[in-house]
A and B are shown apart, each in its own frame.
Chain A
């Protein structure tokens, strides 16, 4: 029963009691009826007063709630202003994209990123490199459920002029609040680095962690993804990505190129996915898994020879005792990310295994037996923005970064010369949240005893728009 009803009832009960008593005493008079009515009215007035008090309390509560929400918003804005180092809107206008156009329900946005590196390597025979990239991103959105996203990469290469590549191009269909279907060429969702961190303005260091570059972590694929996020309770969240793609194709030395191809050479789709759990908004824990099949080559520059029967039976005769075969390629990994205030901590581990198979390994060669390949890569990275401890000009715009990454060849003949411990230290000067100048020192200690340890000094300018 609601409280004011109780009051009315109590009022009525007490009234009837007051009324009943004198009646029982046979003391009835003409005023008695009037008294009863007055008392009844009084009770009603009391009830109304109670009601009024209650709605006043409700109004106060609503006001407090609204004030709390506004305070939260203000706090978040203060946080970004600090994170963006109090950069004024004019400076950050550079971050406003290159071009924006709207026609009715269709919106077009041109953004992207660009950057340049210089690198000095000291490994006994000193050398210097420089490269520049420009990656425009095209976004076309229809209403609020369809998005086309595409990125091109223009990049200078070591001596061969410029290269243009399609990084990704996909149509994203937002099915509901919790699921989006992605169709096209996409960045691989296996591991985190490639999908989330590789753009220069985002990567806290200049190089990639060793192995997270197509060696162990796949780069792209062509196919479908189903992905989304689901709230769990008040503050927790689960996110997922499932992918199916054309999968990798074998290159020299039986090495699978972990990239998206326009057609599937062996009718064996690559499948994989990644799941993350957020127990609190600033902590992400999860893992990835991936399975693909690669087909051995019967000549190097030609098409891969798929063993479609699975029995090693081939129509064409290969002038050798060995027939190319297929091999399973399996990748799994785990990740943990904590982004708390000005601190950013990351850990990722990936393990990949390609079974032994038969393939041509050298141009012009004959198919040969290639051993099982087991490779693992991991990194741990910490970054801290000094804005968290100081307001001092310039210093507050600095971010310190340290990363250790490792590539281990546990079995096999591939990547033996790449296996290394890579230790990176860096200082980033943030001109704006999307504009950064980085200076890095990196030490690459190779597992192969013949390879000399390298000391690298690197500088980079990067902007995201």
Chain B
């Protein structure tokens, strides 16, 4: 494997460590589970149906937990160039329907 690959892996491990440690030290404030907004969920359902099957098969909400969807949809927001508000609605829908 290339030097770059190792450097990146090490850097990412360190970064991950810092990111995990920081909030833990700060006491790890959990964002309270927001009350689902039916309008947002309905909007998210449509956006999910419109967008999430464009590159690969649609993945059903049951595939991931809330935390899983949070990260996966962020990943897809970047990959698929989704506007932030659309990603937010899709997250609301998937977390509500899993």
Most buried by A among B58, B60, B72: B60
What is the total number of residues of chain B having a CB less than 8 Å from a CB of chain A? Answer: 65
Interface residues of A (CB under 8 A from B): 66, 69-70, 72-73, 75-77, 79-81, 83-84, 87, 89, 92-93, 95-97, 100, 102-109, 111, 138-142, 144, 146-150, 152, 164-166, 169, 171-172, 174, 176-178, 180, 182, 184-185, 195-197, 199, 201-202, 222, 227-231, 237, 239-241, 261-262, 276, 281-282, 284, 337, 339, 430, 433-434, 464
Q: CB < 8 Å: which of B23, B45, B84 contacts A76?
A: B45
Interface residues of B (CB under 8 A from A): 1-5, 7-9, 12, 15-16, 19-20, 22-24, 26-31, 38-39, 41-43, 45-46, 48-51, 53-65, 67-68, 70-72, 74-75, 77-86, 93, 97
- Complex formed: what's the CA distance from A195 to B66 in Å? 26
| Contact A104 B30, CB 8 Å, known A76-B45, A109-B71, A147-B74 | yes
Cβ–Cβ < 8 Å partners of A434 in chain B = 56-57, 59, 63
Interchain CB contact under 8 A, A196 and B57: no
Interchain CB contact under 8 A, A149 and B75: yes
Interchain CB contact under 8 A, B46 and A76: yes
Min CB–CB distance B70 → chain A (angstroms): 6
Number of A-B residue pairs, CB cutoff 8 Å, is 210
Cβ–Cβ < 8 Å partners of B67 in chain A = 100, 102, 107, 109
Interchain CB contact under 8 A, B28 and A339: no
Interchain CB contact under 8 A, A148 and B12: yes
Q: CB < 8 Å: which of A77, A106, A140, A182 contacts B78?
A: A182
Interchain CB contact under 8 A, B54 and A337: yes
| Contact A202 B55, CB 8 Å, known A105-B29, A166-B8 | yes
- Complex formed: what's the CA distance from A35 to B53 in Å? 71
With contacts A84-B58, A106-B19, A180-B78 known, what are 20 further pairs, Cβ within 8 A? A72-B45, A80-B49, A96-B64, A105-B23, A108-B71, A139-B72, A146-B19, A147-B78, A148-B12, A165-B2, A166-B9, A169-B12, A180-B77, A202-B55, A202-B56, A241-B81, A281-B51, A282-B54, A430-B57, A433-B58
Interchain CB contact under 8 A, A227 and B70: no
Interchain CB contact under 8 A, A195 and B56: no
Q: CB < 8 Å: which of A97, A141, A178, A184 contacts B83?
A: A178
- Complex formed: what's the CA distance from A37 to B41 in Å? 52
Cβ–Cβ < 8 Å partners of B19 in chain A = 106, 140, 142, 146, 148
- Complex formed: what's the CA distance from A294 to B37 in Å? 53
